[in-house]
Amino acid sequence: MMTVLEKMACEAREESTCQMTEDMLAEIKENLPPPELLTDLADLYKMFGDSTRLSILSALRQGELCVMHLAEILNMTQSAISHQLRALRANNLVRYRREGKLSYYCLADEHVETIIDMGLEHILEERVY
Amino acid sequence: MMTVLEKMACEAREESTCQMTEDMLAEIKENLPPPELLTDLADLYKMFGDSTRLSILSALRQGELCVMHLAEILNMTQSAISHQLRALRANNLVRYRREGKLSYYCLADEHVETIIDMGLEHILEERVY
DNA sequence: CAAACACATGAACACTTGTTCATATGTTAA
DNA sequence: TTAACATATGAACAAGTGTTCATGTGTTTG
């Protein structure tokens, strides 16, 4: 049977091996971004987590395109492209303008390209090793 | 019935309204990143597309942590954290070292933080408007 | 007006994904 | 060695996601 003091001594030893107290854990927890922001951030990155959407964004880097042309470039149905454009639009990654029968889409801002390039850098650096 | 010449004229008109020829579409297609790279990139961003993993990465920005502490900080089971760490490790987003019974995890490189910050900037800029 | 066209959208389905539960692996202490 | 501990992992299940198909909306043309 272990006494209270022995338990405390043991815990103190464990904490010292981990270099971590409850207070420190609490501080790390407080310094995390708020949960709502993290879910928004996750939703944003989900948009980049699909190769069809990445293809659409990559095509739009070369200039404004209408839905049908995107479908031709990616060899996919107009419906599939339209569904994905809707998602990209909802997350403010693309903007569009209507001109007659056609809807022209383009990238929303420079962040979109920057985010893609950061990911590419990460992947390409790995491949060197 | 439309003659061949009429069809050609019609197509030429359509192309001129779209400012886009088949050759231009082919060029855009050729300039896309190769499909294999796009799927790798999508797999990478899938890692950022989950709030649990984003929380883990955010916690690790503040320093090296073992699995149990991560579980405490995020109020989640050790198993759930361990599964996610496995995924993050497979995508080279975290590194770990074993010290006795404990496994310490840390961020793999600066890209991880940069990618997260790019996303945060994108979200926070939207909220201004 | 009707027909053709470009795009959007809802439902359904297969597929993927995150968590839980149970258990296995590996390390340390008794 | 056995017990306790920290972590890893496999199976299973619910929830989420991407595509297809059918159809709806809005615009232009004849």
* Per-residue model confidence as pLDDT tens digits over B7-30: 333 344 443 345 688 899 999 999
User: How large a percentage of chain A has pLDDT more than 70?
Assistant: 83
- Topology of domain A36-128, CATH: Arc Repressor Mutant, subunit A (1.10.10)
User: pLDDT for B32-63, tens place per residue?
Assistant: 999 999 999 999 999 999 999 999 999 999 99
How many CB pairs below 8 Å do chains A and B form together? Answer: 141
Select the residue from A15, A48, A102 to test the B interface by mutation, using most B Cβ atoms within 10 A. Answer: A48
When pLDDT is cut at 50, 70 and 90, the band that residue A125 belongs to is confident
Nucleotides of C under 7 A from a protein CB: 5-11, 17-23, 26-28
The nearest CA of chain A is from the CA of B1 a distance in Å of 24
Question: Residue A22: what pLDDT?
Answer: 87
pLDDT, averaged across chain A: 87
Q: Residue with structure tokens 């984003």?
A: B54
Residues of chain B contacting residue A43, judged by C-beta atoms under 8 Å apart: 49
The nearest CA of chain A is from the CA of B86 a distance in Å of 17
Higher pLDDT, B3 or B28: B28
Q: Structure tokens of B94?
A: 């975290």
Picking from B54, B63, B66, the nearest residue to A38 by CB comes out as B54
Cβ distance B50 to A42 under 8 Å?
yes
Cβ distance B88 to B47 under 8 Å?
yes
> Sign of the CA dihedral A43, A45, A49, A53?
positive
User: pLDDT for A30-85, tens place per residue?
Assistant: 999 999 999 999 999 999 999 999 999 999 999 999 999 999 999 999 999 999 99
Residues of chain A contacting residue B92, judged by C-beta atoms under 8 Å apart: 122, 126
Contact yes or no for A37 and B120 at CB 8 A: yes
Domain ranges in chain A are 36-128
Pure H helices in A1-129:
4-18, 22-30, 35-48, 51-60, 67-74, 78-90, 110-128
Q: Residue with structure tokens 């997260």?
A: B116
